[in-house]
Structure 1
Amino acid sequence: MKTKIFLLLFFFSASCFSQTYLDKEFDRITDSVLSVNPLIPGMLVSYVCGDFKWEKAKGYADIDKKIPMRLDNTYRIGSVTKTFTISVLLQLVDEGKVSLDDNISRFFPDIPNGENITVKMLANMRSGLYNYSESQQFDDTLTNRPSKVWSDDELIQLALKYPPYFPPDSNFHYSNTNTILIGKIIEKVTGNKWQDEIKKRIFEPLELKNTWTANGRDMIGDYSHGYMQMDSTSSKLTDVTSYYDVSWASAAGDIISDINDIKIYLRALGTGKFYSEKMREARKEWAITHGNLKYGLGMFSVSGFLGHNGGIPGFTNFSGYNPESDCSIIVVYNTQRPGADMPDELAKRLLQVAGY
């Protein structure tokens, strides 16, 4: 009996030591990132694993008014939106309304070579279709007309002005065009806007109270401001919270959320709550593998953490969930392109400390 009590006390004290160590190291690392990088006004960090929960808001949500970041601040999640869009697509596959093997010529007869591009190739970034947001025309328009409202059809036509990167399914190239097309497919097979389908199928069942599709200039909720370095020769940050109309991100990147909702969502995403076992397996047929990074159907795996990263004017983030350990990590900066230390890098450093 004494031996059992001793062992219980040993493991309890070891666990407390481990959690104390993580708490101090996480604070040290996140503080160091803020102190050496003035281009990061503030950050939100959440790491939840078993009984250990480390969540901190650091820096400023509003530089001019010196308003501190708060854990309930909303932010633009950028390309994490893709995981929502493709989760809805996979539900529709389960319902027999579309197949991953469908040629996109079924939905877009005017897209060149569409008879050789499948829906699956859109989802796993192997279609070869040009990424409209990499074009000079897009950059020029964003610079000169930041408040322009874009339609999905405009974005698709812009992409089609450029030749494909490669023949279908012969390589991998990340392209927002692919996910815009998936949003259009959702609309064609349901008769509803893709935003409404995401709300009905994901936001509402998971009771995500602080998550919205924005598709405009204004932020929603108790939001953090977003900043950018507009002049690379200056360290001055510009508040771009409502500067750009983000309709150009559409189904590829226009959702607004907070870390609490994203935590709930990541667990559902990582466990495949939304769709069948067949779709769960299909989602993890990796289209590309590079070291410990893999990319499948609108979702990555980094050291076993399933999710996505996101970057959109004013915000960058890394969001992942490990189904084997039931652990999640979210790192948000209220800035875009803050030097080399992106949220991905900070997340990797924290995960290394945590033993991943």
Structure 2
Amino acid sequence: MCATLLATAGLVLATAGLAAEPEPTQVARVQAALDTWVEARAPAEKVTGIAAYISFGATGPAIEAFAGTIGRAPGAKPVDQDTLYQMGSTSKSFTAAVILNLEAANKLSLDDTVGKWLPEYPAWGHVTVRRLLNMTSGIPNYSETEWISEVWASEPTRTLTLKELADAAYPSPTNQLPVTKGYHYSNTNYVLAGMIAEKAAGTPFRDLVQKYVIAPHGLTSTFYEPSHYPSSVLQRLSHGYFENGACAEYQPSCTTTWNAPLIGRDVREDSVSWMQSAGGGVSSPRDVDRWIRAIFAGKTVPAEQQAEWTKLVSMKTGEPIADVSADDPGGFALGLVKKVLGPLGAQWFYEGESLGYRTLYVWFADENLMITVQTNSQPPDGTDKLSEAVGALYQIVGKRAAN
């Protein structure tokens, strides 16, 4: 909103450079932790497999591990290095990268308004690109509407345009969604940002992602399509299952969710056009790691844009903050999140979710450590424990845990 066969798919230890390799016992413990997580969480979260990538530096070493299978069918193959997952909103960082690179090329500015680029939306004309990217625009979320639920249920292969998605949230006499103040998570913001990027560059958003994200950073297992992925990608994509019976945000007096017809469905071959610039990427844990490390290493945009990228607003108030704290523990930047994660302290992280997939990374900057995990369900409301997989892995490889 956005009976399981379990098999261990094995583990790969990847090394590069001169850094010391992880201890064999550490590698085995990582594998055991993933096996345990899948077995424990499959009944509640309806997952069949998990993939993980743990990197101890940009050039290595790394631990790559997998557990379970890519789907529910008898004889489903094990998750392995070739398996892909939808990234969901972790690929909002693609949109931020495109916008910031276009700003660096003097094609647009973060201070430009929606009205400058998209005058067909006068009610949102005053909103800046910056406020789209940091979720303080007040614009409602199209992906919580009855319309999108009906599309998911009855037209899963339909190709939607960015304009159709934005129009679903736009106010009219028959469409009065609540306007918010401060911080409010809305996919419409990133759809509008994608539309602005296309107009400013005169280039399809797909090609902008290829130019600014995939090609320059060698992301050979990362893909972006506006609607349907080719068979070469689908063959590698894990099956993904929608299991969430929660009501949509804009569903009044809810007793049965609009999304009830989706429950139990494999969404692997459905159109991803309902996400697009709000979260339509597909990748592997290894490539997610490579991309996010590039962001925080300052390798994706010039220094001026890098500074803008990581400016935070409070997820409580929507006001700018210098950093998160115990009193104000969550901050949203431009497609990036920083949060106080209990005893792990303040860390950059993001969990992206699509109709049948989840991708979660945590970047422990002071340890030069990144843990990325991916799995294949949108689980029942309140059952998502993917963070526990990261926590279990951190207990094995993290310096705080070792001390």
Shift, 1:160, TM fit: 0.6
Indicate which of 215, 219, 225 corresponds to 1:214: 225
Shift, 1:308, TM fit: 2.7
2:277 maps to what in 1?
251
Equivalence map 1:86-97=2 (5 Å) = 86-97=96-107
Q: TM-score, normalised by structure 1?
A: 0.85
Please tell me whether the aligned partners of residues 336 and 349 of structure 2 are also in contact (alpha carbons under 8 angstroms).
Answer: yes
Indicate which of 340, 343, 354 corresponds to 2:386: 343
1:31 maps to what in 2?
35
Please tell me whether the aligned partners of residues 285 and 297 of structure 1 are also in contact (alpha carbons under 8 angstroms).
Answer: yes
* Compared CA separation, residues 289 and 52, structure 1 to 2 (3 A): farther
Q: Distance in 1 between matches of 2:153 and 2:86?
A: 20
Please tell me whether the aligned partners of residues 350 and 362 of structure 2 are also in contact (alpha carbons under 8 angstroms).
Answer: yes
Please tell me whether the aligned partners of residues 40 and 334 of structure 1 are also in contact (alpha carbons under 8 angstroms).
Answer: yes
Q: Distance in 1 between matches of 2:204 and 2:349?
A: 24
Q: Deviations over 1:130-159 (max 9, x none)?
A: 100011221122112222211111111101
Shift, 1:81, TM fit: 1.6
Shift, 1:331, TM fit: 0.7
Shift, 1:319, TM fit: 2.3
Please state whether the residue corresponding to 1:267 is helix, strand or coil: helix
Please state whether the residue corresponding to 2:169 is helix, strand or coil: helix
**Superposition CA RMSD, Å:** 2.7
Shift, 1:281, TM fit: 1.7
Q: Distance in 2 between matches of 1:229 and 1:73?
A: 21
Indicate which of 231, 238, 245 corresponds to 1:224: 238
Q: TM-score, normalised by structure 2?
A: 0.76
Please tell me whether the aligned partners of residues 31 and 67 of structure 2 are also in contact (alpha carbons under 8 angstroms).
Answer: no
Shift, 1:324, TM fit: 3.7
Please tell me whether the aligned partners of residues 156 and 177 of structure 1 are also in contact (alpha carbons under 8 angstroms).
Answer: yes
Unpaired stretches in structure 2, ≥5 consecutive residues: 1-19, 247-259, 317-325, 340-344
Deviates more, 1:58-67 or 1:191-200: 58-67
Unpaired stretches in structure 1, ≥5 consecutive residues: 1-14
Please state whether the residue corresponding to 2:53 is helix, strand or coil: strand
Please tell me whether the aligned partners of residues 55 and 62 of structure 2 are also in contact (alpha carbons under 8 angstroms).
Answer: yes
Give the aligned length.
336
* Compared CA separation, residues 343 and 214, structure 1 to 2 (3 A): farther
* Compared CA separation, residues 54 and 177, structure 1 to 2 (3 A): same
Please tell me whether the aligned partners of residues 113 and 126 of structure 2 are also in contact (alpha carbons under 8 angstroms).
Answer: yes
Equivalence map 1:146-185=2 (5 Å) = 146-161=156-171, 162-163=175-176, 165-166=178-179, 170-185=181-196
Please tell me whether the aligned partners of residues 85 and 375 of structure 2 are also in contact (alpha carbons under 8 angstroms).
Answer: no
2:48 maps to what in 1?
41
The amino acid of 2:394's aligned partner reads L
Shift, 1:313, TM fit: 2.1
1:326 maps to what in 2?
368
The answer as to 2:294 corresponding to 1:277 is: no
Q: Distance in 1 between matches of 2:309 and 2:388?
A: 25
Shift, 1:214, TM fit: 2.4
2:72 maps to what in 1?
63
Q: Distance in 1 between matches of 2:359 and 2:182?
A: 26
The answer as to 2:144 corresponding to 1:137 is: no
* Compared CA separation, residues 41 and 263, structure 1 to 2 (3 A): same
* Compared CA separation, residues 105 and 164, structure 1 to 2 (3 A): farther
1:12 maps to what in 2?
none
Equivalence map 1:75-94=2 (5 Å) = 75-94=85-104
Identity %: 26
